[in-house]
Amino acid sequence: MLDDIDRMTRIAAELSDRELHERLMSWFVGESYRQASNREQMAKCEQYYDQHQTDQERRRAIEARGQTVVQYDMITPQIDWLLGTERRMRIDEKIMPRDTLDEATSADAEAKTHLLKWIDDTNRTGYQRSAAWDDAMKAGQGWLEVFAYRDHHGKWCVGKQAVPWKHCLYDSLGLEKTGTEKMRFFFRLKTVDLDIAISHFPSKRRELMMVANSATGLQDLRSWMSVPGSMFNLESMMGRLDNMPDTAMPTDLFNARQRVMLVECWSLEPYREQTDNPALDAPIRFRPAVTIMTEFDIIWRGWSPYKHDRIPFVPYWAFADKTTGLPYSLIKRLIPRQDALNKVMSRALHDISTDQLHIEEGA
Protein backbone atom coordinates (compact mmCIF):
# COMPACT_ATOMS: atom_id res chain seq x y z
CA MET A 1 0.00 0.00 0.00
CA LEU A 2 2.71 2.46 0.97
CA ASP A 3 4.76 1.54 -2.10
CA ASP A 4 1.78 2.33 -4.32
CA ILE A 5 1.23 5.66 -2.62
CA ASP A 6 4.91 6.54 -3.06
CA ARG A 7 4.71 5.53 -6.72
CA MET A 8 1.56 7.62 -7.12
CA THR A 9 3.33 10.55 -5.49
CA ARG A 10 6.17 10.33 -8.00
CA ILE A 11 3.74 10.11 -10.92
CA ALA A 12 1.73 13.08 -9.63
CA ALA A 13 4.91 15.07 -9.18
CA GLU A 14 5.56 14.67 -12.90
CA LEU A 15 2.39 16.66 -13.54
CA SER A 16 3.65 20.21 -13.63
CA ASP A 17 2.05 22.99 -11.62
CA ARG A 18 0.87 24.60 -14.84
CA GLU A 19 -0.86 21.45 -16.07
CA LEU A 20 -2.44 20.88 -12.67
CA HIS A 21 -3.62 24.48 -12.49
CA GLU A 22 -5.19 24.28 -15.93
CA ARG A 23 -7.02 21.07 -15.04
CA LEU A 24 -8.38 22.37 -11.76
CA MET A 25 -9.27 25.69 -13.34
CA SER A 26 -11.29 23.92 -16.04
CA TRP A 27 -13.17 22.02 -13.33
CA PHE A 28 -13.84 25.22 -11.40
CA VAL A 29 -15.06 27.25 -14.36
CA GLY A 30 -17.14 24.43 -15.83
CA GLU A 31 -18.87 23.66 -12.55
CA SER A 32 -19.49 27.32 -11.71
CA TYR A 33 -21.25 27.86 -15.04
CA ARG A 34 -23.21 24.64 -14.68
CA GLN A 35 -24.58 25.77 -11.32
CA ALA A 36 -24.83 29.48 -12.21
CA SER A 37 -28.61 29.69 -12.67
CA ASN A 38 -29.30 27.55 -9.60
CA ARG A 39 -26.90 29.56 -7.41
CA GLU A 40 -28.61 32.73 -8.62
CA GLN A 41 -31.90 31.24 -7.44
CA MET A 42 -30.32 30.34 -4.09
CA ALA A 43 -29.09 33.92 -3.65
CA LYS A 44 -32.56 35.20 -4.56
CA CYS A 45 -34.13 33.01 -1.88
CA GLU A 46 -31.79 34.47 0.73
CA GLN A 47 -32.67 37.99 -0.39
CA TYR A 48 -36.38 37.30 -0.08
CA TYR A 49 -35.85 36.17 3.52
CA ASP A 50 -33.87 39.37 4.17
CA GLN A 51 -36.80 41.47 2.85
CA HIS A 52 -35.22 42.33 -0.52
CA GLN A 53 -38.33 41.22 -2.39
CA THR A 54 -38.69 44.05 -4.92
CA ASP A 55 -36.17 44.55 -7.71
CA GLN A 56 -34.71 47.95 -8.47
CA GLU A 57 -36.78 48.60 -11.61
CA ARG A 58 -40.11 48.00 -9.89
CA ARG A 59 -38.99 49.89 -6.78
CA ARG A 60 -38.17 52.97 -8.87
CA ALA A 61 -41.54 52.75 -10.68
CA ILE A 62 -43.46 52.56 -7.39
CA GLU A 63 -41.54 55.42 -5.79
CA ALA A 64 -41.91 57.55 -8.95
CA ARG A 65 -45.66 57.70 -8.44
CA GLY A 66 -45.21 58.83 -4.85
CA GLN A 67 -45.94 55.48 -3.26
CA THR A 68 -43.95 53.57 -0.63
CA VAL A 69 -42.86 50.04 -1.47
CA VAL A 70 -45.01 47.66 0.61
CA GLN A 71 -44.12 44.04 1.43
CA TYR A 72 -46.40 41.62 3.26
CA ASP A 73 -43.89 39.00 4.34
CA MET A 74 -45.18 35.40 4.38
CA ILE A 75 -41.76 33.73 4.08
CA THR A 76 -39.95 34.70 7.28
CA PRO A 77 -42.38 33.08 9.78
CA GLN A 78 -42.15 29.68 8.10
CA ILE A 79 -38.34 29.73 7.82
CA ASP A 80 -37.95 31.03 11.39
CA TRP A 81 -40.10 28.14 12.61
CA LEU A 82 -37.77 25.64 10.90
CA LEU A 83 -34.67 27.37 12.29
CA GLY A 84 -36.11 27.46 15.80
CA THR A 85 -37.12 23.80 15.62
CA GLU A 86 -33.54 22.79 14.83
CA ARG A 87 -32.18 24.84 17.73
CA ARG A 88 -34.65 23.30 20.17
CA MET A 89 -33.72 19.79 19.06
CA ARG A 90 -29.99 20.00 19.81
CA ILE A 91 -28.78 16.90 21.63
CA ASP A 92 -25.45 15.58 22.91
CA GLU A 93 -24.02 12.37 21.48
CA LYS A 94 -23.80 9.32 23.69
CA ILE A 95 -21.53 6.39 22.83
CA MET A 96 -22.90 2.95 23.71
CA PRO A 97 -20.93 -0.35 23.87
CA ARG A 98 -21.53 -2.28 20.67
CA ASP A 99 -20.78 -5.89 21.69
CA THR A 100 -20.55 -6.44 25.43
CA LEU A 101 -21.73 -4.54 28.47
CA ASP A 102 -18.92 -5.33 30.88
CA GLU A 103 -17.36 -2.68 33.05
CA ALA A 104 -14.33 -2.09 30.81
CA THR A 105 -16.31 -1.47 27.60
CA SER A 106 -18.83 0.70 29.44
CA ALA A 107 -16.01 2.84 30.86
CA ASP A 108 -14.45 3.11 27.40
CA ALA A 109 -17.78 4.20 25.89
CA GLU A 110 -18.28 6.78 28.63
CA ALA A 111 -14.79 8.20 28.03
CA LYS A 112 -15.55 8.56 24.31
CA THR A 113 -18.83 10.29 25.16
CA HIS A 114 -16.98 12.82 27.33
CA LEU A 115 -14.42 13.34 24.52
CA LEU A 116 -17.11 14.12 21.95
CA LYS A 117 -18.82 16.43 24.44
CA TRP A 118 -15.52 18.28 24.99
CA ILE A 119 -14.96 18.61 21.23
CA ASP A 120 -18.48 19.98 20.71
CA ASP A 121 -18.14 22.44 23.60
CA THR A 122 -14.76 23.80 22.50
CA ASN A 123 -15.95 24.27 18.90
CA ARG A 124 -19.48 25.45 19.80
CA THR A 125 -20.61 22.72 17.43
CA GLY A 126 -24.29 23.33 18.08
CA TYR A 127 -24.02 26.88 16.77
CA GLN A 128 -21.92 25.76 13.80
CA ARG A 129 -24.49 23.14 12.84
CA SER A 130 -27.24 25.72 13.21
CA ALA A 131 -25.33 28.05 10.86
CA ALA A 132 -25.10 25.29 8.24
CA TRP A 133 -28.80 24.50 8.78
CA ASP A 134 -29.56 28.20 8.35
CA ASP A 135 -27.93 28.15 4.90
CA ALA A 136 -29.81 24.96 3.99
CA MET A 137 -33.21 26.37 4.95
CA LYS A 138 -32.70 29.76 3.29
CA ALA A 139 -30.60 28.89 0.23
CA GLY A 140 -31.01 25.13 -0.10
CA GLN A 141 -27.63 23.86 1.02
CA GLY A 142 -25.13 24.39 3.84
CA TRP A 143 -21.67 23.02 4.61
CA LEU A 144 -19.89 21.99 7.81
CA GLU A 145 -16.10 21.51 7.77
CA VAL A 146 -14.50 18.96 10.14
CA PHE A 147 -10.77 19.60 10.37
CA ALA A 148 -7.65 19.36 12.54
CA TYR A 149 -5.72 22.37 13.80
CA ARG A 150 -3.01 23.28 16.30
CA ASP A 151 -4.02 25.20 19.40
CA HIS A 152 -1.90 27.88 21.09
CA HIS A 153 -0.03 25.12 22.94
CA GLY A 154 0.95 23.43 19.68
CA LYS A 155 -1.30 20.41 20.26
CA TRP A 156 -3.56 18.99 17.58
CA CYS A 157 -7.30 19.46 18.07
CA VAL A 158 -10.47 18.62 16.15
CA GLY A 159 -12.39 21.60 14.78
CA LYS A 160 -15.86 22.02 13.32
CA GLN A 161 -16.93 25.12 11.46
CA ALA A 162 -19.78 26.13 9.16
CA VAL A 163 -18.71 27.37 5.72
CA PRO A 164 -20.98 29.75 3.74
CA TRP A 165 -22.41 28.09 0.68
CA LYS A 166 -21.30 30.98 -1.53
CA HIS A 167 -17.67 30.11 -0.75
CA CYS A 168 -18.12 26.45 -1.74
CA LEU A 169 -18.31 24.80 -5.15
CA TYR A 170 -18.80 21.05 -5.27
CA ASP A 171 -18.91 18.32 -7.90
CA SER A 172 -22.61 18.30 -8.73
CA LEU A 173 -22.24 15.07 -10.72
CA GLY A 174 -21.02 13.10 -7.73
CA LEU A 175 -22.57 14.57 -4.59
CA GLU A 176 -25.19 12.51 -2.81
CA LYS A 177 -27.31 13.56 0.14
CA THR A 178 -25.66 10.90 2.28
CA GLY A 179 -22.20 12.47 2.05
CA THR A 180 -19.28 13.48 -0.17
CA GLU A 181 -17.79 10.05 -0.96
CA LYS A 182 -18.46 10.22 -4.71
CA MET A 183 -17.42 13.83 -5.28
CA ARG A 184 -14.34 14.15 -7.49
CA PHE A 185 -13.55 17.68 -6.32
CA PHE A 186 -14.54 20.39 -3.89
CA PHE A 187 -13.51 24.07 -4.06
CA ARG A 188 -13.58 26.57 -1.21
CA LEU A 189 -12.82 30.29 -1.62
CA LYS A 190 -10.79 32.11 1.01
CA THR A 191 -10.16 35.85 1.01
CA VAL A 192 -7.00 36.54 3.03
CA ASP A 193 -5.00 39.66 3.84
CA LEU A 194 -1.90 39.87 1.66
CA ASP A 195 0.55 39.97 4.57
CA ILE A 196 -1.04 36.90 6.17
CA ALA A 197 -0.91 34.98 2.89
CA ILE A 198 2.78 35.87 2.45
CA SER A 199 3.46 34.72 6.01
CA HIS A 200 1.99 31.33 5.18
CA PHE A 201 3.69 31.04 1.78
CA PRO A 202 6.84 33.21 1.80
CA SER A 203 8.27 31.49 -1.29
CA LYS A 204 5.21 32.58 -3.32
CA ARG A 205 5.44 36.28 -2.56
CA ARG A 206 5.53 37.33 -6.23
CA GLU A 207 2.52 35.17 -7.18
CA LEU A 208 0.48 36.49 -4.26
CA MET A 209 1.28 40.13 -4.88
CA MET A 210 0.27 39.72 -8.52
CA VAL A 211 -3.35 38.95 -7.55
CA ALA A 212 -3.62 41.23 -4.51
CA ASN A 213 -6.43 43.76 -4.66
CA SER A 214 -8.43 46.11 -2.49
CA ALA A 215 -12.08 47.03 -2.94
CA THR A 216 -13.20 50.29 -1.36
CA GLY A 217 -16.20 50.73 -3.64
CA LEU A 218 -18.70 48.76 -5.65
CA GLN A 219 -16.97 49.49 -8.95
CA ASP A 220 -13.64 48.16 -7.65
CA LEU A 221 -15.33 44.96 -6.57
CA ARG A 222 -17.07 44.55 -9.91
CA SER A 223 -13.73 44.83 -11.70
CA TRP A 224 -12.41 42.06 -9.47
CA MET A 225 -15.42 39.82 -10.08
CA SER A 226 -16.09 40.32 -13.78
CA VAL A 227 -12.92 39.43 -15.66
CA PRO A 228 -14.24 37.57 -18.75
CA GLY A 229 -13.13 33.97 -18.92
CA SER A 230 -11.13 34.05 -15.71
CA MET A 231 -11.49 31.68 -12.79
CA PHE A 232 -12.92 34.48 -10.72
CA ASN A 233 -15.92 35.36 -12.77
CA LEU A 234 -17.69 35.31 -9.43
CA GLU A 235 -21.08 36.36 -10.74
CA SER A 236 -21.77 32.68 -11.38
CA MET A 237 -19.92 31.56 -8.25
CA MET A 238 -21.59 33.93 -5.78
CA GLY A 239 -25.04 33.86 -7.37
CA ARG A 240 -25.05 37.63 -7.89
CA LEU A 241 -28.31 39.07 -9.26
CA ASP A 242 -28.01 41.83 -11.84
CA ASN A 243 -31.22 43.56 -10.72
CA MET A 244 -30.05 43.89 -7.10
CA PRO A 245 -26.27 44.45 -7.16
CA ASP A 246 -26.10 46.37 -3.89
CA THR A 247 -27.51 43.52 -1.82
CA ALA A 248 -26.05 40.57 -3.73
CA MET A 249 -22.36 41.54 -3.64
CA PRO A 250 -20.28 39.56 -1.12
CA THR A 251 -19.63 42.12 1.59
CA ASP A 252 -16.55 40.31 2.93
CA LEU A 253 -14.64 41.50 -0.16
CA PHE A 254 -15.23 45.19 0.63
CA ASN A 255 -12.01 46.22 2.33
CA ALA A 256 -9.38 48.88 1.94
CA ARG A 257 -6.66 46.39 2.93
CA GLN A 258 -4.74 44.47 0.31
CA ARG A 259 -6.52 41.13 -0.02
CA VAL A 260 -5.80 37.90 -1.87
CA MET A 261 -8.43 35.44 -3.00
CA LEU A 262 -7.20 31.88 -2.57
CA VAL A 263 -8.89 28.72 -3.79
CA GLU A 264 -8.57 25.58 -1.70
CA CYS A 265 -9.22 22.52 -3.86
CA TRP A 266 -9.76 18.97 -2.61
CA SER A 267 -9.57 16.48 -5.48
CA LEU A 268 -9.71 12.69 -5.42
CA GLU A 269 -6.75 11.19 -7.31
CA PRO A 270 -6.95 7.52 -8.40
CA TYR A 271 -4.30 4.87 -7.84
CA ARG A 272 -4.24 1.09 -8.23
CA GLU A 273 -3.71 -1.00 -5.13
CA GLN A 274 -1.48 -4.10 -5.46
CA THR A 275 -2.86 -7.52 -4.49
CA ASP A 276 -1.12 -10.73 -3.51
CA ASN A 277 -3.11 -12.74 -6.02
CA PRO A 278 -1.98 -11.94 -9.59
CA ALA A 279 -5.16 -13.48 -10.99
CA LEU A 280 -7.27 -10.72 -9.45
CA ASP A 281 -7.42 -7.23 -10.84
CA ALA A 282 -5.98 -4.66 -8.49
CA PRO A 283 -8.77 -2.41 -7.16
CA ILE A 284 -8.80 1.29 -7.90
CA ARG A 285 -8.57 3.52 -4.82
CA PHE A 286 -8.86 7.27 -4.40
CA ARG A 287 -6.81 9.53 -2.18
CA PRO A 288 -7.61 13.22 -1.61
CA ALA A 289 -5.08 15.77 -2.78
CA VAL A 290 -5.08 19.36 -1.52
CA THR A 291 -4.15 22.28 -3.75
CA ILE A 292 -4.10 25.97 -2.81
CA MET A 293 -3.98 28.29 -5.79
CA THR A 294 -4.68 31.75 -7.07
CA GLU A 295 -6.18 32.72 -10.37
CA PHE A 296 -2.88 32.16 -12.18
CA ASP A 297 -0.59 29.97 -10.03
CA ILE A 298 -0.33 26.98 -7.73
CA ILE A 299 0.65 28.15 -4.25
CA TRP A 300 0.86 24.78 -2.50
CA ARG A 301 0.01 21.14 -3.27
CA GLY A 302 0.12 17.93 -1.26
CA TRP A 303 -1.84 14.93 -0.05
CA SER A 304 -4.63 15.10 2.49
CA PRO A 305 -3.30 14.87 6.06
CA TYR A 306 -6.29 12.79 7.16
CA LYS A 307 -6.31 9.00 7.29
CA HIS A 308 -10.01 8.69 6.45
CA ASP A 309 -9.30 9.63 2.79
CA ARG A 310 -12.46 11.71 2.49
CA ILE A 311 -13.18 15.31 1.62
CA PRO A 312 -13.70 16.90 5.06
CA PHE A 313 -16.90 18.81 4.27
CA VAL A 314 -20.37 17.63 5.33
CA PRO A 315 -23.37 18.83 3.27
CA TYR A 316 -26.69 19.97 4.74
CA TRP A 317 -29.58 19.66 2.30
CA ALA A 318 -33.04 21.14 2.14
CA PHE A 319 -34.43 19.81 -1.17
CA ALA A 320 -32.88 18.54 -4.41
CA ASP A 321 -34.30 19.06 -7.88
CA LYS A 322 -34.93 15.63 -9.41
CA THR A 323 -34.06 16.89 -12.88
CA THR A 324 -30.76 18.63 -12.16
CA GLY A 325 -29.87 17.22 -8.74
CA LEU A 326 -29.11 20.75 -7.52
CA PRO A 327 -30.35 22.08 -4.15
CA TYR A 328 -33.15 24.52 -3.47
CA SER A 329 -34.97 25.73 -0.38
CA LEU A 330 -38.57 26.07 0.76
CA ILE A 331 -38.40 29.77 -0.13
CA LYS A 332 -38.28 28.89 -3.83
CA ARG A 333 -41.77 27.41 -3.52
CA LEU A 334 -43.07 30.51 -1.74
CA ILE A 335 -41.61 33.21 -4.02
CA PRO A 336 -44.47 33.18 -6.61
CA ARG A 337 -47.11 33.57 -3.88
CA GLN A 338 -45.01 36.25 -2.14
CA ASP A 339 -44.68 38.24 -5.39
CA ALA A 340 -48.41 37.93 -6.10
CA LEU A 341 -49.33 39.11 -2.60
CA ASN A 342 -46.96 42.08 -2.72
CA LYS A 343 -48.28 43.20 -6.12
CA VAL A 344 -51.94 42.81 -5.17
CA MET A 345 -51.57 44.68 -1.88
CA SER A 346 -49.40 47.39 -3.42
CA ARG A 347 -51.94 47.91 -6.21
CA ALA A 348 -54.82 47.97 -3.72
CA LEU A 349 -53.13 50.62 -1.58
CA HIS A 350 -52.39 52.65 -4.70
CA ASP A 351 -56.03 52.51 -5.82
CA ILE A 352 -57.28 53.47 -2.38
CA SER A 353 -54.91 56.43 -2.28
CA THR A 354 -55.65 57.75 -5.76
CA ASP A 355 -59.32 56.97 -6.47
CA GLN A 356 -61.68 59.88 -5.85
CA LEU A 357 -65.41 59.87 -5.11
CA HIS A 358 -67.50 62.74 -6.56
CA ILE A 359 -70.87 63.42 -4.92
CA GLU A 360 -73.35 65.88 -6.46
CA GLU A 361 -75.90 67.52 -4.22
CA GLY A 362 -79.42 66.48 -5.12
CA ALA A 363 -78.30 63.75 -7.54
Q: pLDDT at position 163, please?
A: 93
Distance CA 18, CA 15 (A): 8
Residue 5, classed as helix, strand or coil, is helix
Chunk the chain into consecutive blocks of 10 residues (it has 363) and report each block's average pLDDT, rounded to whole numbers.
49 69 89 88 90 83 78 90 91 82 84 88 89 93 90 84 91 72 86 90 90 61 44 59 50 69 89 68 81 90 87 91 90 91 82 73 79
Q: pLDDT at position 265, please?
A: 93
Q: pLDDT at position 136, please?
A: 94
- Pick the closest to residue 61 from 325, 346, 292 (CA basis): 346
Q: Contact at 8 Å (CB) between 312 and 247?
A: no
DSSP string, 166-197: GGEEE-TTT-BTTBSTT-SEEEEEEEEEHHHH
Q: pLDDT at position 218, please?
A: 47
Q: pLDDT at position 135, please?
A: 94
DSSP string, 257-280: EEEEEEEEEEEEEEEEPP-S-TTS
Q: pLDDT at position 243, please?
A: 45
Q: pLDDT at position 220, please?
A: 47
Distance CA 327, CA 136 (A): 9
Q: Contact at 8 Å (CB) between 240 and 249?
A: yes
To the question of pTM greater than 0.95 for the whole model, the response is no
Phi-psi domain of 154 (left: phi exceeds 0; alpha: psi -120 through 50; beta: other): left
- Segments making up each domain of the chain, as ranges: 2-353
- Pick the closest to residue 183 from 191, 175, 193 (CA basis): 175
Q: pLDDT at position 80, please?
A: 93
C-alpha count within 13 angstroms, C-beta hemisphere, residue 96: 2
Distance CA 73, CA 23 (A): 45
DSSP string, 313-342: EEEEESEE-TTT--EE-HHHHHHHHHHHHH
